Amino acid sequence: MNHLKYLLLVVVVATTNSFAQTPAEPAKDTAAQREARMQWWREAKFGMFIHWGLYALPAGEWQGKYYDGIGEWIMFKARIPLADYEQLARQFNPVKFDADAWAQLAQDAGMKYLIITSKHHDGFAMFGSKVDAFNIVDATPFKRDPLKELAAACAKRGIKFGFYYSQAQDWSAPGGAIWEGRHENDPVFADPRWDKRQHGDFETYFSTKALPQVRELLSNYGPMAVVWFDTPLKVMSEERAGRLEKLVHELQPNCLVSGRLGGKFQSDYASEGDNKIPNLARAGAWETPATLNDTWGFKKHDHNWKKPDDLVFKLVDIVSKGGNYLLNVGPDGEGVIPKPSQDMLCKVGAWLKVNGAAVYGADRSPFGAEFGAAGTPDAKGKSTFKPRNDWRCTTKPPSTGSGQAGKLYFFLFKWPGEKFTVAGLKGKAAKAYLLADPAHKPLALAQDGAQLTVTLPAAAPDPLASVLCVELAP
Ligand code: H79
């Protein structure tokens, strides 16, 4: 039966893709294998994203002009010729780079995995690559391989390590894809290229640069936890996505593939849009990649930092909806993670030290009304959503065999005064306490059917968010 299914898929791929060379076969791993390799990820909830590349040098500014928006796109936005962009490599010497300091920051922030750009759309490899000389070891005075150093620093701390790889776009390899605009009236649509050296054939780029570099990354850096692909433009056909996914899992069966591969290969988990958080809880494994300010790659003029209370809210909001939060830092051209980023992440980490039991390994909310409700349609008649941000909830199942019942964790962002009331409770509340109270002193409870009221102290014990744990009777 299974063979038949594979056969059918191969036939479909072969007939719909005229340029198919070797028909893509679906990964042969079973649902149980997939679930097993996902386990650490489901518990981790919070990861560090790092966008670091040559774009950290111009830091948003090119030839006296400051470019709005995301800084790692500066080569595209300023239409920088390859020869000029290559000059940046000659200047790239981030002597303050300290892999241990970065990994330690991730740990202090309570982040369980770390994913760094190995090659962004600009095509520059931040690792030593034999495949293409436009890389940090061969083309810069720095000559070190930061991915090697980071892999070791993460391994030392038990932080899972993975890399971002832009598989379709490459603005410096002949034939690499380039963003073509959102619609046909977009000026870049007709010809997105700005340098003769970008002309070429995508299949050649894909098979002589993208695939071999991904092979290098999965062969030379120890166990990889995740490969994070991005911007699957039209050229990332199902057939090509299949070749990439197959390569990853052949080399490292336990490595996760994130959701932006291309075609139908959503693989191990889904990726939300950049900085997008769904309105309601969602089943299945998904992740929101997000920024601390308004850029991924370092920009010297972007000081629009989120506040620690907002970060804690977003982390909890995402986890209570069933997702993971992949939060970005953009180190500068010297190799330093901006001080405001460091400070904010440490505050989130301090909060997690007290309240992490309600986050790591917790499941999404069994309620739902706390997320908000449909608002009035906007001027164009499009439906809207009016969020509510008073509280969120996560759950932990009963720990089997211990006789202990499951737990509900209520994150109180707006202190409700002396009573917290929740409707729709399934089960019987046995005990309630605040995680901020090391003694876990029981709070008074009153339950009337599905409605529970807990008596709280007059003031919130934690200014960021106080967590109320309600243990259910077995
Ligand atoms: O790596 C980060 C981004 O660079 C990448 N995804 C995250 C994780 C990303 N690639 N593409 N996009 C995000 C969306 C593209 C937005 C665009 Fe534009 C709008 C491209 C062209 C118009 C913004 C404005 C970038 C250039 C101009």
Short-list 213, 197, 193, CA closest to 136: 213
Residue 185's pLDDT is: 72
Q: CA–CA distance from 426 to each of 118, 367, 368, 370 (Å)?
A: 47, 10, 13, 16
The one-digit pLDDT tens for each residue of the chain (474 residues) are 344 444 333 333 333 333 333 444 455 677 888 899 999 999 999 999 999 999 999 999 999 999 999 999 999 999 999 999 999 999 999 999 999 999 999 999 999 999 999 999 999 999 999 999 999 999 999 999 999 999 999 999 999 999 999 999 999 999 999 998 777 677 666 778 999 999 999 999 999 999 999 999 999 999 999 999 999 999 999 999 999 999 999 999 999 999 999 877 768 999 999 999 999 999 999 999 999 999 999 999 999 999 999 999 999 999 999 999 999 999 999 999 999 999 999 999 999 999 999 999 999 999 999 999 999 899 999 999 999 999 999 999 876 666 556 999 999 999 999 999 999 998 899 999 999 999 999 999 999 999 999 999 999 999 999 999 999 998
CA of 70 to the centre of ligand 1 (A): 7
* CB 231 near ligand 1, within 6 Å: yes
Residue 17's pLDDT is: 35
Q: Which residues of 396-415 are buried (b: 16+ CB within 10 A; e: fewer)?
A: beeeeeeeebbbbbbbbbeb
Residue 398's pLDDT is: 75
CA of 279 to the centre of ligand 1 (A): 23
Q: What is the DSSP letter of 360?
A: T
Residue 2's pLDDT is: 41
Which residue among 70, 115, 275 has the greatest number of ligand 1 atoms within 8 angstroms of its CB, and so is best to mutate? 70
Which residue among 55, 73, 122, 170 has the greatest number of ligand 1 atoms within 8 angstroms of its CB, and so is best to mutate? 73
Residue 4's pLDDT is: 41
Residue span(s) of the chain under CATH 3.20.20.80 come to 25-358
What CATH architecture does domain 25-358 belong to? Alpha-Beta Barrel (3.20)
What is the phi-psi region of residue 459: left when phi exceeds 0, alpha when psi lies from -120 to 50, beta otherwise?
beta
CA of 196 to the centre of ligand 1 (A): 23
CA of 76 to the centre of ligand 1 (A): 10
**Closest atom of ligand 1 to CA, residue 289:** 8
Q: Is 153 exposed, middle or buried (0-12, 13-18, 19+ CB in 10 A)?
A: buried
**Closest atom of ligand 1 to CA, residue 49:** 8
Atom 12 (ligand 1): residue with closest C-alpha? 231
Half-sphere exposure of 409 (CA within 13 A, CB side): 24
* CB 67 near ligand 1, within 6 Å: no
* CB 73 near ligand 1, within 6 Å: yes
The topology (CATH level 3) of 369-375+387-472 is Immunoglobulin-like (2.60.40)
Contacts 24+ apart (CB under 8 A), 334-337: 334/94, 334/95, 334/96, 334/97, 335/94, 335/95, 335/96, 335/97, 335/98, 335/146, 336/96, 337/101, 337/102, 337/105
DSSP string, 22-84: SPP------HHHHHHHHHHHHHH-EEEEE--SGGGTTTTEETTEEPPS-GGGHHHHTT--HHH
Atom 1 (ligand 1): residue with closest C-alpha? 296
Residue span(s) of the chain under CATH 2.60.40.1180 come to 369-375+387-472
In whole angstroms, what separates CA 365 from the centre of its chain? Answer: 21
Atom 11 (ligand 1): residue with closest C-alpha? 231
Contacts 24+ apart (CB under 8 A), 334-338: 334/94, 334/95, 334/96, 334/97, 335/94, 335/95, 335/96, 335/97, 335/98, 335/146, 336/96, 337/101, 337/102, 337/105, 338/298
This prediction has a pTM of 0.92
* CB 171 near ligand 1, within 6 Å: no
* CB 179 near ligand 1, within 6 Å: yes
Q: Which residue has the tokens 């894809």?
A: 177
d(CA 186, CA 183) in angstroms, rounded, equals: 6
CA of 295 to the centre of ligand 1 (A): 10
* CB 165 near ligand 1, within 6 Å: no
Residue 397's pLDDT is: 87
* CB 296 near ligand 1, within 6 Å: yes
Q: Is 328 exposed, middle or buried (0-12, 13-18, 19+ CB in 10 A)?
A: buried
Q: Nearest 5°: phi and psi at 470?
A: -115, 120
**Closest atom of ligand 1 to CA, residue 188:** 21
CA of 177 to the centre of ligand 1 (A): 14
CA of 106 to the centre of ligand 1 (A): 25
Q: CA–CA distance from 248 to each of 118, 284, 370 (Å)?
A: 15, 22, 40
Check: CB of residue 244 under 8 Å from CB of residue 25: no
- Give residues with Cβ within 8 angstroms of 350, minimum separation 6: none
